[in-house]
Copies of this chain bind each other. A is one copy, B any other.
């Protein structure tokens, strides 16, 4: 059985226990670990690291693709192992430690981390710990449900620990396309010219002598926590479908639109699923994560191809997809996140990016990450890679949070992840603001009247009008700009 998974026979000698593999990880090391939106994360070695730390405390810098599953970030945090963490996370316990200043969190555009490693501005990596579906005859690593940063981690690390996960279907082999940009100063264009371009290897090419240990696991990925569409996300989807229909009607788009990207999470997932209800056909995705909505669109006959860096599904959808993976495989490709999120490719293809905002301000600046401008939620992730380079950059949010006590449209966001230059369209359940080629004062009128909840509209307009009396390209009253956030902190509501 293992011979089908570890096809280079000499490597069978490297199979060992998670404990033995974890014993290689020492205090002060920089570790690159697989995992992107819960998918394809290392599952056994990090748990063994937590056990080891109980008797032998140590701290590391942990770099991943993006978020991990299986509460691994929680356990690593509780064990005191994380000195530094990058480039993304979604764990409640880790987040609290970051916000207490106990873990140094470096929040990065997801396309950039391995550039920093490759140019020796970060690293060197002591170990890459990567999940694989198989190892080829040549020692190539076949990733599982994500590539993330694993390919470059394995290529750049001094040594590699591989977790062969028997629960990951071998049918995944062939879905990956591992292309790594060549070294500067002789770097050539990335040859991806369409969602379905295949330009690399179906495995990660490495020197097999770098494999220090192989651990065998048999645990599934953590399932996604995406919630079902509700009335508000359905309304957001309806506004967006109407907008796309209008763009088609005036000849800017055809019914296949442009390649679609949808951010991680419930709202973007719902919006994407909502496209099944429109007149669109031959849709393509060039995204970072494929969620349930991707396979809903495939099954609805709406989607012709999907490219991403990971597949993260609910339990039900996971069964549906992986039990009949042949139905989808030739319409899927998984890429390193550097390529799925690369500015070069996103701009070339003309991607429509749909990302979620925590809050937006009246001029269209976006806070995606920091509650009250201070406390980290998850991280900027790939939203900046897409929003900056997209043909159309769309941000979606519900207009209210916390039962109406918080307005998602505020006078000024206290943390900016995306500036107004990178935001073309904002959609809430109330409506859609098409901000293209508008000046800030024009943007404000549209955002307040189309997107803000009626309960907060009058107060926003009052702020904007009083600010305009003071002049400026982006009029503001600095003494009041954050008064809504401060009121909410003091009284529990922005009202």
Q: Give the interface of A toward B (CB within 8 A).
A: 84, 86, 98-101, 104-109, 112, 115-116, 119-122, 181, 184-191, 193-194, 251-252, 258, 342-344, 347-350, 365, 370, 372-376, 380, 384, 388-389, 391, 412, 414-417, 419, 421, 436-439, 441-442, 467-468, 470-476, 478-479, 481-482, 485-486, 489
Contact = CB atoms under 8 A, between A and B. Distances in A.
B478 A372 contact: yes
Contacts of A184: 258, 348-350, 391
A89 B244 CA distance: 33
Nearest to A424: B121
* 7 closest A-B pairs by CB: A374-B472, A189-B189, A376-B473, A104-B439, A416-B416, A344-B344, A343-B343
B185 A349 contact: yes
Contacts of A375: 471-473
Given A116-B436, A419-B416, A475 B374 contact: yes
Contacts of A439: 84, 104-106
Given A84-B439, A344-B344, A436-B121, A421 B471 contact: no
B105 A389 contact: no
A350 B119 contact: yes
Nearest to A111: B347
B343 A388 contact: yes
Contacts of A419: 380, 384, 416-417, 419
A478 B472 contact: no
Contacts of A416: 365, 416, 419
Contacts of A389: 343
A488 B308 CA distance: 49
Contacts of A415: 474
A373 B476 contact: yes
Nearest to A345: B344
Q: From A119, A348, A441, name the one whose CB has the most chain B CB atoms within 10 angstroms.
A: A348
Contacts of A417: 419
Contacts of A188: 193
Contact of A187 (B122, B193, B251, B472): B193
A448 B482 CA distance: 24
A467 B373 CA distance: 12
Q: From A100, A101, A120, A412, name the one whose CB has the most chain B CB atoms within 10 angstroms.
A: A101
A305 B479 CA distance: 49
A108 B421 contact: yes
Nearest to A385: B388
Given A100-B471, A373-B476, A486-B479, A120 B343 contact: no
Contacts of A388: 343, 384, 388
A32 to B, nearest CB: 14
Contacts of A181: 348
Given A99-B473, A344-B344, A479-B482, A116 B350 contact: no
A419 B365 CA distance: 12
Nearest to A388: B388
A191 B194 contact: no
A439 B412 CA distance: 24
Contacts of A106: 437-439
A196 to B, nearest CB: 12
A374 B469 CA distance: 12
Nearest to A439: B104
Given A343-B347, A414-B476, 8 more contacts: A98-B473, A105-B473, A185-B258, A365-B416, A374-B467, A376-B473, A414-B481, A419-B419
Nearest to A98: B473
